Structure 1
């Protein structure tokens, strides 16, 4: 499908600041003339319907094997029909996606607003609300502490109206263009996944001794160790290890220290206390300072971070976050850390940091993760089995991985930036089209 940018003389002021100009033959109507809210409770017939969920990927069938947060009974859910719109009009400030388009009949939480479109093309309004979502427009109309828009207020808001035929053209065009954007984004996300796997695989092969670091032409490189250089570790998941490496436990190499317990009354403003590092401060194996909490409290000396400490997320509602870690640097020293975090302090930490980011950690996760417990205790951590080479080889390994992983990280970062640009371009294209600046031919 072809398109063109409309000329300025084809447009008129909308009277709405964020919207700008719109085509001269388009109008702006109250929602009550466009939409009808439907609330049809499923009752005891819920077994006859697919259970749906509103996600960043749209309205999808819920994975019942991944239970998550479930209602006491699905009898309180509402029936939704194909081509209707699902809106989340509460907690708008923290809801990543407020709009979904229903592709198949099913049931969904009654907390959502279920809309059908009167005599117009519903998929067009999916893209309309997606634009409002992307630009946080509806947040300006919320009330109450939960940033909610009630039904009466929603129906008094206004939405764009053009002909059914033009709405259909726009929706079909945006379906086509969105697919192109999404496929490009997916390829880049798959590249990142492959790079992350290759990166972890390299770390694991090196820190378990399967690959040997050698110097060739003044550069550190890896070669595969010969069988006669290896011995059995006696640990099934670890396999063979170099003959001169020793199998040991973390408790013989350093100290695991649980973080600070503090109360809400201890929390103060930035200039009044000390920064408490928490799980949110650990991102991509680095310490970040974007979500900070400060406390005014007496901090024991051992709870102050030191350079080369390894900060580990040891308790969290999400099991996927248990074990995520970062190395303390000059910028993050002399801070404290929360009770759901653990510091491992050792003279071997530059090497051990790579151990924590290898398959060695994953292989032993069953010892502390279960369906009901997401916790890495100091006892678990102390009993972690690792293989330890000589200090000289540790330094060689750390140097090699420091240099090698920069290339992985740079490629991953550039790919993430590319994804961000694609997403921004997609949002802008949808906005320009759904508001009439772009005409679909």
Structure 2
């Protein structure tokens, strides 16, 4: 095979393509396969000395970016590739401990953290998979019981969001919940927009409301939801969002809106429109099983407790990932 580099297991390759979070590309070691073919645009190399696992961790830290910055001319970017001369790349200087025993100890410590992260990620994935199974079981024939079905519009109201202009945006005022405020099924406040205008009481969220993204350029964002956990003062929602306000005294509707039964009804006729959307008309046609109140509350409590388990597992995962990131920044000069 001509025109490619043959990279063997344990060897490294520098990808000069830049992307978000990788302003000067990335260097990775081939681990999963015995060998692989790479474009000649990559810079490939094998170590003469040093612990391979330690060097892998070093390149994950991005501390080597300082050296690449010095040899990549400002503005010398072409089709997403940095202009990094191969000879100058190999002339870069890196400050590493010479003692291989020390390198091995550091590498073993980081490998242990990686294993912990992988195990925690597996736990999160399995919990989510199990939750999907629970939802599918609950919203079909609940425990083998056949409950009457009702239209969603019989047990919930659908409230369209606030329309505002750029001139209304302010540093303070009413918080406008948008699709970016829903992350992994819960509210996130990393990206907030406020408006300085009068908002009618009917357009202010209430505890146990369900906020849903009903219109977006990305189909994968349409239909994602979060539960309003408490009475949030001075909080409304944007025009591409919708509040689904349950008439039932529980969170049963919220869990239904995350089930395959709901999604199969909503997306069955959606085409390839530029902006995908869920309309009131679509929601009016959705049906769901409606158990008696006692059974609904038991179902809601069970599913909500499982959501808490998933959220706690995700928090633990994020903490581990951030811990490793901080360690990598401190380990290398």
The TM-score with structure 2 as length reference comes to 0.70
Distance 1:431 1:378 in 2: 50
CA deviations 1:327-385 (Å, max 9, x no partner) are 33433354221122112234137331221122322332432545556322222222112
Asked whether the 8 Å contact 1:274–1:296 carries over to 2, the reply is yes
Task: Report what 1:358 is aligned to.
Answer: 259
Asked whether the 8 Å contact 2:251–2:300 carries over to 1, the reply is no
CA deviations 1:413-433 (Å, max 9, x no partner) are 443344345435555666677
Of the candidates 178, 187, 203, which is equivalent to residue 303 of structure 1?
203
Q: 1:189 to 1:80 in 2, by over 3 A?
A: same
Q: 1:308 to 1:334 in 2, by over 3 A?
A: farther
Task: Report what 1:202 is aligned to.
Answer: 134
Q: Can you give the 5+ residue segments of structure 2 that lack an aligned partner in the other structure?
A: 31-35, 76-80
Whose Rg is larger?
1
Distance 2:187 2:295 in 1: 23
Q: 1:368 to 1:287 in 2, by over 3 A?
A: farther
Distance 1:325 1:199 in 2: 15
What is the deviation of 1:85?
1.0
Task: Report what 1:101 is aligned to.
Answer: 28
Task: Report what 1:411 is aligned to.
Answer: 309
Comparing 379-388 with 193-202, which one deviates more in the overlay?
A: 193-202
Distance 1:308 1:421 in 2: 28
Of the candidates 377, 380, 399, which is equivalent to residue 279 of structure 2?
377
Q: Does 1:131 align with 2:66?
A: no
Asked whether the 8 Å contact 2:175–2:234 carries over to 1, the reply is no
Distance 2:323 2:252 in 1: 42
What is the deviation of 1:311?
0.8
* 3-state SS of paired residue (1:332): coil
Q: How many residues align?
A: 311
Q: Does 1:337 align with 2:237?
A: yes
CA deviations 1:115-157 (Å, max 9, x no partner) are 4569866966553232136x9989x99989xxx99859x9798
Q: 1:275 to 1:96 in 2, by over 3 A?
A: farther
Alignment of 1:213-228 (within 5 A): 224-225=144-145
Of the candidates 155, 160, 175, which is equivalent to residue 275 of structure 1?
175
Asked whether the 8 Å contact 2:161–2:241 carries over to 1, the reply is yes
Alignment of 1:315-330 (within 5 A): 315-330=215-230
Alignment of 1:383-402 (within 5 A): 383-389=285-291, 393-394=292-293, 396-402=294-300
Distance 1:338 1:305 in 2: 11
Q: 1:279 to 1:177 in 2, by over 3 A?
A: same
* 3-state SS of paired residue (2:27): strand
Asked whether the 8 Å contact 1:203–1:354 carries over to 2, the reply is yes
What is the deviation of 1:296?
2.7
Distance 1:182 1:86 in 2: 23
The TM-score with structure 1 as length reference comes to 0.55
Alignment of 1:25-424 (within 5 A): 82=7, 83-89=12-18, 91-92=20-21, 95=22, 98-101=25-28, 103=30, 104-107=36-39, 114-116=42-44, 126-132=56-62, 159-160=94-95, 170=103, 174=107, 181-211=113-143, 224-225=144-145, 241-242=146-147, 245=148, 247-269=149-171, 271=172, 273-332=173-232, 334-348=234-248, 350-367=251-268, 369-370=270-271, 374-389=276-291, 393-394=292-293, 396-405=294-303, 407-424=305-322
Q: 1:96 to 1:316 in 2, by over 3 A?
A: farther
Asked whether the 8 Å contact 1:86–1:99 carries over to 2, the reply is yes
Asked whether the 8 Å contact 1:311–1:342 carries over to 2, the reply is yes
CA deviations 1:223-273 (Å, max 9, x no partner) are x54xxxxxxxxxxxxxxx23xx2x23223444323322333333211x2x3
What is the deviation of 1:398?
4.3
* 3-state SS of paired residue (1:343): strand
What is the deviation of 1:86?
1.7
Q: 1:84 to 1:171 in 2, by over 3 A?
A: farther
Distance 1:372 1:107 in 2: 37
Distance 2:259 2:247 in 1: 19
